[in-house]
Amino acid sequence: MTGTQPPTARRPVVATTHGAVRGTFADAGLLFAGVPFAAPPVAERRLRPPEPAAPWTGVRDTVTFPAGPAQRAGITPEVEALGPKAVAVVRALGAAEGTFSEDCLYLNVWTPGIDSRLPVLVWIYGGGFETGTASPPGFDGAALSRLTGAVVVAANYRVGALGWLYPAGPGSHRWTQSANLGLQDQSAALRWVRDNAARFGGDPDNVTVAGASAGAFSVGALLALPAAKGLFHKAILQSGSVTRVQAPGTAAALTEDFLAAAGVEDFDRLADVPLDRILDAQARVVDSDIGRRNLPGGRIWGVVHDGTVLSDRPLDAVAAGAAAHIPLLIGANRDEIRMWAHFGGDDYRPADEHALIAEMTRAGIADPPALLEVYRSRLRAAASGAGRPYGGAPDELRDLRTVFLSDAVYRIPSARLARAQSAAGGRAHTYLFTAEPFGPGTGAFHGAEAIYLGDKLNAVGIDTPDNLATRDHLADAWRRFVHTGNPGWAAHSAGHTDTDTTRQIDPAPRTIHEPPRDIAAHWGVST
């Protein structure tokens, strides 16, 4: 079924499964903003799985972007003090701004036209599972729709404790279905897409779910989520994979500390805790350091292997063939952790080499000193050969930690996912983003690709020929994959791991081996 008015109408109306919505024209396409896909998770629904949205009569105006999920976010005074360009850059990277509310389960649709049958791209935002929004300026689907030629849907999901608190402690036996609420919200949005995509010019049989950072880790979990089975046909994971999953014991300890910080004795009483107290408590109980947060045992909000909602660990599920029928496009940025190192100062820098080796051991490295020497040789070669210190003024301990964490959190898990998918008989195409939008000082940092996929080069004053070429190469890969499941280069091949199959994305793309062969063996990744 398509829209009930022709696309030339001033205010297009579409009849969804819950009721009619009226959108508007925006950026050479159509926009439907703030469409309910589930009931408001407030009052007695707080910390409960998403329920169906109530149907409505008449026509509902959907031209105003909804509030983002409850959080403390926005442009900080420190960023504002750096001037308008810094603010523009942070916005280009997807900073969450605007209003926030517990009543947040709405989605936005950007479509070239309601009478088409185009691929659907469902976007899941990042933000460390603590912040994020499906609306501008944090996410503007108009550019992504234009660059990929797809109907783009972005849905809010609950973040922080309201989205990811693991039911544990006194009273939790009545809340076993409330684990991974953010993931359940995402699944509910995908069901809405299945039932309504065709009404907005989309093809319900050609749905790609995509995300970056926490969004990509969410996509990795959706590959294994029973409730999401059959709801999407392809997946894009940018700077995230399937390994960022907490064990129940770690998550239970976090819950216990959160309950104490919120001033309640059991899970049941959380329904009555004021929102401000929840937001304060959730910030106090997690690790702030990027390494401690993301290495095994880290205290952080996010996906939990709870055994009920998420029955299998995602990497195990992929290795067993759960996603073999779903083509994957897996991307990482060369210098993922560079930005945290750039601003982290002394708190980021290891106390000494022994501290760094201990952190590498925590990550599962069998011979940390040997890997450290490989990293040290690479850094020195880069500094002398290209005259570009890794991340500003030379600081070897800081820079060694940066390359190690970039591998540990993002690049190596991405490689493991590709190999598991291939070994299970599935298809995985990989790329490494190496373009440097602001030069070698910050490099190809975490989130840099958003400036290109959001078509924001002009907004931040870097629309150079090289950057425009990078945008076109990256957007072309995504467009090809969304339409056909093939980005334009060979998939990783099980049994031929010595073959270079990763596409390096920059002004002049080429094929490389990822991870580099001198690093792969130390991580136990086949070369």
Summarised one tens digit per residue, pLDDT across range 426-443 is 999 999 999 999 999 889
- Report the pLDDT value the prediction gives residue 4, as an integer from 0 to 100: 43
Cβ pair 104, 275 in contact under 8 A: no
- Report the pLDDT value the prediction gives residue 496, as an integer from 0 to 100: 58
pLDDT at 8 over 60: no
* CA contacts within 13 A on the Cβ side of 137: 17
Kindly state the average pLDDT of the residues 280-292. Answer: 95
Average pLDDT for the chain: 92
DSSP E strands in 225-375: the ranges are 234-238, 328-333
Summarised one tens digit per residue, pLDDT across range 106-163 is 999 999 999 999 999 999 999 999 999 999 988 999 999 999 999 999 999 999 999 9
- Asked if domains 13-319 and 328-523 share a fold, the reply is yes
Residue 48, Cβ density class (10 Å: 0-12 exposed, 13-18 middle, ≥19 buried): middle
- Report the pLDDT value the prediction gives residue 497, as an integer from 0 to 100: 57
In terms of DSSP bridges, do strands 234-238 and 68-69 run parallel, antiparallel, or are they unpaired?
Answer: unpaired
Q: Where are the domains of the chain?
A: 13-319, 328-523
- Report the pLDDT value the prediction gives residue 96, as an integer from 0 to 100: 76
Summarised one tens digit per residue, pLDDT across range 138-149 is 899 999 999 999
Summarised one tens digit per residue, pLDDT across range 190-242 is 999 999 999 999 999 999 999 999 999 999 999 999 999 999 999 999 999 99
Cα(95)–Cα(89) distance, integer angstroms: 9
- Report the pLDDT value the prediction gives residue 114, as an integer from 0 to 100: 95
Report the alpha-carbon angle 259-304-360, nearest 5: 100
C-alpha distance from residue 477 to each of 175, 472, 483 (Å): 42, 9, 10
**For residue 15, what are the β-bridge partners?**
20
- Report the pLDDT value the prediction gives residue 11, as an integer from 0 to 100: 85
Residue from 256, 246, 262 nearest 299 by CA? 246
Kindly state the average pLDDT of the residues 329-339. Answer: 96
Residue 322: other Cβ atoms inside 10 A: 20
Q: Which helix (H) or strand (E) segment is 221 a member of? A: helix 214-222
- Report the pLDDT value the prediction gives residue 343, as an integer from 0 to 100: 81
Residue from 309, 300, 180, 313 nearest 250 by CA? 300
Q: Quick one: three-class SS letters along 139-159? A: CCHHHHHHHHCCEEEEECCCC
Q: What secondary structure does DSSP assign to 403-465, as a single string?
A: HHHIIIIIIHHHHHHHHHHHHTT--EEEEEE---TT-TTT-SBTTTHHHHHTT-TTTTT---H
Does domain 13-319 fall under CATH 3.90.110.10? My reply is: no
Q: Which tokens hold the place of 525? A: 């990744």
Cβ-proximal residues to 419 (8 Å cutoff; 6+ apart), any chain: 428, 492, 494, 497, 525, 526
pLDDT band for 383, please (50, 70, 90 cuts). Answer: confident
Residues labelled catalytic: 213, 336, 446
Q: What secondary structure does DSSP assign to 88-142, as a single string?
A: HHHHHTT---S-EES---EEEEEES-TT--EEEEEEE--STTTS--SSTTT--HH
Q: Quick one: three-class SS letters along 323-362? A: CCCCCEEEEEECECCHHHHHHHHHHCCCCCHHHHHHHHHH
- Report the pLDDT value the prediction gives residue 527, as an integer from 0 to 100: 54
Cβ-proximal residues to 496 (8 Å cutoff; 6+ apart), any chain: none
Kindly state the average pLDDT of the residues 285-303. Answer: 95
Choice between 26 and 491, residue whose per-residue pLDDT is larger: 491
pLDDT band for 387, please (50, 70, 90 cuts). Answer: very low
Length of the chain: 527
SS3 288: coil
pTM of the model: 0.94
Cα(270)–Cα(274) distance, integer angstroms: 9
Cα(168)–Cα(181) distance, integer angstroms: 14
Domain 328-523 falls in which CATH fold? Rossmann fold (3.40.50)
Cα(333)–Cα(449) distance, integer angstroms: 8
Cα(365)–Cα(444) distance, integer angstroms: 25
Summarised one tens digit per residue, pLDDT across range 445-475 is 999 999 999 999 998 999 999 999 999 999 9
Cβ pair 442, 345 in contact under 8 A: no
User: At 118, phi and psi to the nearest 5?
Assistant: -105, 160
- Report the pLDDT value the prediction gives residue 455, as an integer from 0 to 100: 95
Q: Which tokens hold the place of 264? A: 């309640």
Choice between 395 and 474, residue whose per-residue pLDDT is larger: 474
- For the ranges 8-17, 30-39, 97-106, the maximum mean pLDDT occurs at 30-39
Cβ pair 326, 223 in contact under 8 A: yes
CA 73 to chain centre: 17
Q: Which tokens hold the place of 159? A: 């973040």
Summarised one tens digit per residue, pLDDT across range 495-506 is 655 567 999 999
Cα(278)–Cα(286) distance, integer angstroms: 13
- Residue 28's region, left for phi above 0, alpha for psi from -120 to 50, else beta, is left
* CA contacts within 13 A on the Cβ side of 348: 18
Q: Which tokens hold the place of 392? A: 């500003």
- Report the pLDDT value the prediction gives residue 3, as an integer from 0 to 100: 42
